[in-house]
Amino acid sequence: MEGGSDEPQLQDERAEVVELNLRQNAYDYLEESLRYAERAVADSVGWKFAIVLAAQSIELLLKARLAEEHPLLIRVNPESGDTDAPTVGVESAVKRLHAAGLQLDDEDVRRLRLAQRLRNQFVHYEVKATVGQLEATFADLFEFAHVFHLEHLGDELHDHIAEDLYSAEAEMMSRFRRDLVRYQGSTVVRWFPSEIVDAQFALNVRIGDKVYDRIRRSSPDDLLGANTWACHDCSAVPGQLHAYGCDAERCPGCSQQMLSCACEWEWEYVESIDRFIP
């Protein structure tokens, strides 16, 4: 009987250890990402490492929240009870959090998927992107981490960041608290830069059983024509793919405006691309 009464306490202690380790690892990765972001002002290569580390931090924050429901939920096969089994990825973590009653809106899920695609892209492939694209994407990911921590882990992320990084944190917060930012020569709502980056991974659209190449800005079939202007709606520059929901993208299936056509289409994403810019 005594052994049975001690078991719940041992389970709680294990859960606390798992949660604390995940959180501390997440904070370590996020702090290091801010350090690279600081250095990126003088060395644009720093944005690459900042994004990779921010993506890793976000994944760990998701798992930390999942571990609050039960420590085994972060394992690929929780039914086995194996505490050394591999842990889940972002997609599975989001699904399990949803099943536990934690709702993430579509924009947050999009940002999570973009973070993972970018991490894979930077680690395994060459990336061609402007400094503005990388900076804006990092700010977007940092905002997600900040809001998710406050809403779902119970306190300010600021309380877990080293004092020497307060200025870098403040700069990122001032960036995502603006409603409008300058990007690719246009004034756009602050989340559009990361949507542009995300859209470059959706090379094709599927309509029924057919797959079509998407039409790039300034190609002969583009609704705006083969000129050198940035898109008036989503700010995609010549050579880029339009952002999701842009009113200037032409459907490759019916040749009408994609936003209002009758085709039932869906984007098909790839893990790597050969360019963000022409």
Dump pLDDT digits (tens) for 55-96. 999 999 999 999 999 888 888 887 776 667 788 888 889 899
Per-residue confidence (pLDDT) for residue 88, from 0 to 100: 87
DSSP, res 268:
E
**Predicted pLDDT of residue 9:** 44
The predicted pLDDT at position 2 comes to: 45
pLDDT of residue 126: 67
Let me know the angle formed at the C-alpha of 149 by 147 and 150, rounded to the nearest 5 degrees.
65
Alpha-carbon gap, residue 35 to 53, rounded angstroms? 10
In the sheet with 265-268, reading across from the earlier edge strand, the strands are: 210-213, 204-207, 265-268
CA torsion 188→53→268→214, rounded to 10°?
Answer: 40
Measured CA to CA, the distance from residue 53 to residue 138 in angstroms comes to: 10
pLDDT at residue 5, as a whole number? 46
DSSP 154: S
Residue 29's pLDDT is what? 95
Residues in the chain where the model's pLDDT stays below 70: 1-20, 41-44, 81-83, 125-128, 177-192, 275-278
**pLDDT at residue 117, rounded to an integer:** 82
